[in-house]
Amino acid sequence: MSTPIRWGILATGSIAHQFAGGLAVIPDAELTAVGSRTVEAANEFADQYDVPRRHASYEELAADPDVDVIYVATPHPFHKENSLLCLDAGKAVLCEKPFTMNAREAEAVVARARKKGVFLMEAMWTRFLPISGKVRQWIGEKAIGDVRMIAADFGYRAEFDPEMRAFNPDLGGGGLLDVGVYPIAYISMILGPEPDRIASLAEIGDTGVDEQAAVVLGYPQGELALLSCAVRTDTTNEVRILGTDGQIHLHPPFFTGTTATLKAGNLEETVELPLEGNGYNYQAVEVMKCLRDGRLESGLMPLDETVAIMNIMDRIRSQWGLKYPME
């Protein structure tokens, strides 16, 4: 087995727990340290996952010499400052999606990583699932010919609570940044991150964030992508990729997907690729491979694409007139 790579987790919320569970199934990953805003929260998290090093501040975690890479698990308005803190300390960073609040912030974080010569990647975990690899293979083999249209959605119904993260503008609430980023990133994986036309509508709720939205992305060769997202509406949570010679259906829920069906002519093939662990492990494996290979970014989730995806969401929000207080 390779020399273990030592992980730190910055913050102790629900997504941090998911990631800790993912790390647990990787033999050469060590969850070495956790950082929180209080020693009590750090100790509680560390006790649950047997983490030896506990820090009562993010600064202490970033400065820990026994940590190789840090997973940033805070709410997205804090991703920029938290990522910069870790990069400035020379730590590789895996930052939870959405990468930042907007493209301007994303560009600043990417620029710092490149200036410092430190690894950085967005934690778009769906991209690294085995079934996503199968979809990329089918597309690359032209199994459905040329892709012409994609339909993707991610929505859930939360009970309205103005203090809840999903509805709170101070925490970057709304469907687009919370879950809309997933279908956008999936579409980007197939059609690229540079649509030349965007049309969208949103329902803006009482707290000033998007509670549901529908978006059409147009691409230079005439391809179209239709996506929807919501925090007040349950959607089908699936992806359909339509080509000149067939189609691919990524079964719901696509963001934890294990099953996809290819239909082309008389062929109908369903592939199931069960997850090892909870699925968060695959992105961590990619980070560890990059670090061992001496790469500063992932070829599967490049930094320029992360910035471009943030730019798409900026363009969509500008059509709604949605600006967050911290912007």
pLDDT along the chain (327 residues), means of 10: 91 97 97 96 97 97 98 97 98 98 98 98 97 98 98 97 95 97 98 97 98 98 98 98 98 96 96 96 98 98 98 98 96
Q: Cα separation of 187 and 210, whole Å?
A: 21
Q: Cα separation of 299 and 129, whole Å?
A: 15
Which domains, and CATH codes, for the chain? 5-126+280-296 (3.40.50.720), 130-274+309-320 (3.30.360.10)
Q: Cα separation of 163 and 35, whole Å?
A: 24
Q: Cα separation of 240 and 204, whole Å?
A: 27
Strands 69-72 and 92-96: parallel
Q: Which two tokens stand for residue 72?
A: 């940033």
pLDDT (0 to 100) of residue 1? 61
pLDDT (0 to 100) of residue 2? 77
Q: Cα separation of 59 and 90, whole Å?
A: 12
Q: Are 196 and 218 within 8 A, CB to CB?
A: yes
Name the one residue in this structure whose structure tokens are 């020693």. Answer: 39
Starting at the edge strand that comes first in sequence, how are the strands of the sheet with 239-243 ordered? 197-204, 210-218, 224-230, 147-155, 239-243, 247-250, 259-264, 267-272
Task: Give the predicted TM-score (pTM) of the model.
Answer: 0.96
